[in-house]
Amino acid sequence: MGFEPKIIAFCCNWCSYAAADLAGTARMQYPHNVRIIRVMCSGMVHPELVLDALAHGADGVLVLGCHLGECHYQDGNQKALARSAVITELLEDFSYETERYEISWLSSSEPDRLVKAFTDMTERIRKMGQVDRP
Ligand code: FES
What domain range includes position 121? 7-45+57-128
134 assigned to some structural domain: no
Query: What is the C-alpha separation between 121 and 123, in angstroms, rounded?
Result: 5
pTM equals 0.96
Q: What is the mean pLDDT of residues 19-23?
A: 96
116 assigned to some structural domain: yes
51 assigned to some structural domain: no
| Residue 40 CB contacts under 8 Å (≥ 6 apart), including other chains | 12, 13, 14, 73
Distance (angstroms) between ligand 1 centre and the Cα of 48 equals 19
Q: What is the mean pLDDT of residues 39-64?
A: 97
Using alpha carbons, list the distances in angstroms from residue 87 to 52, 58, 66: 12, 15, 19
- Ligand 1 atom closest to the CA of 40, numbered from 1: 1
Render pLDDT for 83-134 as a digit per residue (tens, 0 to 9).
999 999 999 999 999 999 999 999 999 999 999 999 999 999 999 999 987 6
Distance (angstroms) between ligand 1 centre and the Cα of 1 equals 38
Q: How many domains are there within the chain?
A: 1
Alpha helices in the chain (DSSP H): 16-25, 47-55, 76-93, 111-128
CATH number where 12 lies: 3.40.50
Distance (angstroms) between ligand 1 centre and the Cα of 21 equals 16
102 assigned to some structural domain: yes
Q: What does the mean pLDDT of the chain come to?
A: 96
pLDDT score, position 69:
96
92 assigned to some structural domain: yes
pLDDT score, position 68:
97
pLDDT score, position 85:
96
111 assigned to some structural domain: yes
Query: Is 42 within 8 Å of 87 (Cβ atoms)?
Result: no
